[in-house]
């Protein structure tokens, strides 16, 4: 899921500009490398359940050009 957001959405000390963030499974190293290569940077983690398993998403963000 990709959602444009401003600082009010993530509660971080980021200037009030437009960003896109996404979550990627921590074990999907190919996807993480792809997003990093395209300018996304990790900013947090999120735990979620998939069936009975707890899994971790790396939350990544990129600033959109004005």
Among residues 3, 28, 20, 29, the alpha carbon closest in space to that of 64 is found at 20
pLDDT (tens digit per residue) in 31-41:
999 999 999 99
pLDDT (tens digit per residue) in 5-61:
444 555 555 556 788 889 999 999 999 999 999 999 999 999 989 899 999 999 999
Catalytic residue among 19, 21, 24, 35: 35
How far is the C-alpha of 57 from the C-alpha of 24, rounded, in Å? 5
Active-site residue, 35 included: yes
Domain, as residue range, for 15: 3-63
CATH number, domain with residue 16: 3.40.630.30
The pTM for the full model equals 0.71
- What kind and span of H or E run contains 45? strand 41-50
Structural domains counted in the chain? 1
Structure tokens at 7: 């600082």
DSSP string, 1-38: --EEE-HHHHTSS--S--EEEEEEETT-HHHHHHHHHT
């Amino acid at each position: 899921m990709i959602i444009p957001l401003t600082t009010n959405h993530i509660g971080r000390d980021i200037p009030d500009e437009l960003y896109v963030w996404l979550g990627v499974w921590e074990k999907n190293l190919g996807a993480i490398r792809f997003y990093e290569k395209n300018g996304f940077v990790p900013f947090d983690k999120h735990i979620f359940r998939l069936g009975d398993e707890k899994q971790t998403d790396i939350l990544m963000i990129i600033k959109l050009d004005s």
